[in-house]
Amino acid sequence: MTLNSDAISLTNVTKIFHTGVIKRKTAVEDLTFSVARGEVVGLLGANGSGKSTTIKMILGFLKATHGELTVCGHNTEERIARSFIGYLPENPRFQRFLTAHDVMKYFGRLLGMRGEELEKRIAHLLELVSLKHVTKERVHGFSKGMTQRLALAQALLNRPPLLIFDEPMSGLDPLGRKEIRSLIMRIHDEMPDSTMFFSTHILGDVEQVCSSVILLKQGRLKRQCTLDELLSQGDQRFELLIRNLAPSLHKKYLDAFESRLSAGGIQVVVDGAEALAAKLAEVEKDGATVASVNSQRKSLEDELFADTSFPLPVATNQSMGKSL
């Protein structure tokens, strides 16, 4: 491991896929970012934004068309670079005939571990991920959550300084997600010097786990900042609950973005203090009353989809009625 080098460093990385004889698809374009050691970084982006491509390039599964990628100071195409990485794939699969212990032993040996040291590490990690009771059972019968936890355990075998998780909570039920989330936090407590880099679609998890985020959009870096920076900036949002509105005016209010009809009245969301003042004046003019005004913290989801070019589906009373 090269001292003082970043855990991950990408410089002008581009990946172009050949999708046909002439056709080309640029998955990632001119991507430059670095991840310092000890950080917990979330890689975010919509589907097709290049998250998985980026992770696979870091792991050396995909070759970058241009640019340079390093892990702990080593080029990702060098075999040694992977000795610093613990990887948890999105859908981990193991040979069905292996037991949990066999899986750990196999991967441990591939990492050059052996003997008592390996056995102790296996026992500790299986205990950590709560799989000690199924050590001798074949993975064939494991649930998705158990498989995910076993994959997490094998990623930690050689105490790697960089942990890469590709959508670690996807496909899990709320309890499974909570388990994995708390495991990630526990691992970070146990290995505070290790860097964690993970992609996910579940933004709430990022808000709870990450210290900083990297946002990708259409294969390009949109922004890299700390989570606090991301959430603190931008206009404040307010949610108004409007009552006693004449039915003929309902359409006017419901046509607005993110407004909806609720049991207590019509809920309208406005961005910023100026918009709030204008909306309050409008409500007063229309003879309605404002039952409540709630200040909302800007969520990560709002930031992520802030300038998407396509409209996000918003449930209005009309569309809700149709679907029901």
Instruction: Kindly state the smallest distance separating residue 202's Cβ from other proteins, in Å.
Output: 21
* Length of the chain counted residue by residue: 324
C-alpha to C-alpha distance for 249 and 252, rounded to whole angstroms: 5
Instruction: Kindly state the smallest distance separating residue 97's Cβ from other proteins, in Å.
Output: 4
Phi, psi of 42, rounded to the nearest 5 degrees: -100, 135
Q: 146 with 134: CB under 8 angstroms?
A: yes
Instruction: Kindly state the smallest distance separating residue 95's Cβ from other proteins, in Å.
Output: 6
C-alpha to C-alpha distance for 153 and 173, rounded to whole angstroms: 19
Q: Per-residue b/e over 266-297, b at no fewer than 16 CB within 10 Å?
A: bbbbbbeeeebeebbeebeeeebebeeeeeee
The residue among 151 and 216 lying less far from other proteins, judged by its C-beta, is 151
C-alpha to C-alpha distance for 240 and 237, rounded to whole angstroms: 10
The residue among 106 and 305 lying less far from other proteins, judged by its C-beta, is 106
The residue among 78 and 229 lying less far from other proteins, judged by its C-beta, is 78
The residue among 98 and 134 lying less far from other proteins, judged by its C-beta, is 98
Residues contributing to the site for other proteins (CB under 8 A) = 17, 56, 59-63, 79-83, 85, 87, 89, 91-98, 106-107, 109-111, 151, 154
Instruction: Kindly state the smallest distance separating residue 112's Cβ from other proteins, in Å.
Output: 8
The residue among 153 and 215 lying less far from other proteins, judged by its C-beta, is 153
Instruction: Kindly state the smallest distance separating residue 314's Cβ from other proteins, in Å.
Output: 35
